[in-house]
Structures are given as structure tokens and as C-alpha cells.
């Protein structure tokens, strides 16, 4: 275990508190005009999946757990969970659906992700920041709607919904952020 200051904690880090491991889901440093700066953290207990909210002073020391982070390739999903393979050793690991979370919609066959494991158990996953998907359904563009700030709803090939500019039509490949599914740009391919 390594002690780090609370303000350095980020999403995906693993900390130990009261002998239990927690994976950080959200971390925010708050600097009020008056008083001490604090770090607000939402985290999930790895052993049973219970979500906990914690608040530390930004200069407080927190125990960061020793976690193995490696690149894995996504293989398939079944009743056991999501299956990944280490491309170097061909060792496979099954990851529970709670660990993958909302990122499951963006997983594609053969996609490379970073898995964080502790004692051989997957505790967190890091997807690529952006993925390229195809628009399968969207409303037609309204004539005269050329303002750059206007967006229309669209359904992606993975079933998620996003907002795209009016000039984007069904069949167009677009780049979206895996964190929130937001539109970035039209794909270059």
C-alpha cells in the first residue's frame, strides 16, 4: 500500500479503507472561498458492490491499493459476465457486469481495454476514450436549420442515443466519447 494525498485521487483508482478495497467512481476537488479545500469521492466497495460517498481534506493521506493494470482484449459476453484475454499470455478473465457498468454498450469484439486487477479479480475497466460507430436512425434535417449550436437525436449502431449536428444522416460513421456517449466528430474513414 502507498499513501497519497486525497486531491490526487482519480476515477478508477483503488483505495483501502478499514481493511476493505474501494474503486473510485467519481472524484472532485472543491475549493471554497472560505475554509479548507476538500475532495469529494463516490466509490464502490469491491467485496459487495455497495456505493459509498466520502469526503477528505485535500491534504489528507489516503491508502492507495497495489493494483495490476494491463491491456486486455474483449472476447464475448455470456451469463458469467464479460470475458477478456491478455494478448501476451492468452490468459482469460471473466469480469462481472457491475465492474463494466455503462461502458458495456461500447464494447466491441477485439477491442483493447485496460483492466485493473487485485489478487486476480477484476475491479475496474478503462475503455478507449473514443469509439467510431454508425448512425442507424436519425431525424431528417430541417431546411434552414444551419445554426452550429443546434443538435438532433440519433441512435447509434450499439443502441445508445446521442445528439448530432443537423447535417449528419443515417449511415454516417461518427466518433463518440465512451464516457458519456457524446458526439465528437464525423469519422475520417
C-alpha cell at 168: 449528419
Which domains are seen in the chain, by residue range?
2-64 (2.30.30.30), 68-126 (2.40.50.140), 130-186 (2.40.50.140)
Task: Give residue 173's pLDDT.
Answer: 92
Q: How far apart are CA 119 and CA 121, in angstroms?
A: 6
Task: Give residue 147's pLDDT.
Answer: 58
Parallel, antiparallel, or unpaired: how do β-strands 2-5 and 14-17 relate?
unpaired
Q: How far apart are CA 16 and CA 176, in angstroms?
A: 34
Backbone angles phi, psi at 11, to 5 degrees: -55, 135
**Edge-to-edge, what's the strand order for the sheet holding 14-17?**
2-5, 61-64, 14-17, 20-30, 38-45, 51-57
C-alpha cell at 189: 474513414
First to last CA, the chain: 45
pTM of the model: 0.69
- pLDDT (tens, 9 = 90+) of the chain, 189 residues, equals 688 888 888 887 888 888 888 888 888 999 888 888 999 999 888 878 788 999 988 888 998 887 888 999 999 999 888 999 999 999 999 988 888 888 888 888 899 999 888 777 888 888 888 999 999 998 877 666 655 567 888 999 988 899 998 888 889 999 998 888 889 998 887
Question: Which DSSP string do the residues of 123-163 spell out, in sequence order?
Answer: EEEE--SEEEEEEEEEPPPPTT---TT--EEEEETTS-EEE
Amino acid at each position: 500500500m502507498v499513501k497519497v494525498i486525497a486531491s490526487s485521487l482519480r476515477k478508477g483508482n483503488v483505495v483501502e479503507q478499514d481493511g476493505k478495497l474501494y474503486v473510485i467512481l467519481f472524484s472532485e476537488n472543491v475549493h471554497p472561498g472560505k475554509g479548507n479545500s476538500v475532495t469529494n469521492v463516490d466509490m464502490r466497495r469491491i467485496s459487495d458492490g455497495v456505493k459509498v460517498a466520502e469526503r477528505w481534506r485535500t491534504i489528507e493521506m489516503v491508502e492507495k491499493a497495489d493494483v495490476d493494470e494491463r491491456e486486455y482484449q474483449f472476447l464475448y459476453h455470456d451469463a458469467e459476465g464479460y470475458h477478456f484475454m491478455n494478448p501476451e499470455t492468452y490468459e482469460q478473465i471473466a469480469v462481472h457486469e457491475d465492474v463494466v457498468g455503462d461502458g458495456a454498450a461500447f464494447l466491441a469484439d477485439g477491442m483493447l481495454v485496460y483492466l485493473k486487477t487485485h489478487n486476480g479479480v477484476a475491479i475496474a475497466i478503462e475503455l478507449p476514450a473514443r469509439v467510431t460507430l454508425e448512425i442507424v436512425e436519425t431525424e431528417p434535417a430541417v431546411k434552414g436549420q444551419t445554426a452550429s449550436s443546434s443538435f438532433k437525436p440519433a441512435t447509434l449502431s450499439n443502441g445508445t442515443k446521442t445528439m448530432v449536428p443537423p447535417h449528419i444522416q443515417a449511415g454516417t460513421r461518427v466518433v463518440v466519447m465512451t464516457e458519456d456517449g457524446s458526439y465528437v466528430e464525423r469519422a475520417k474513414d
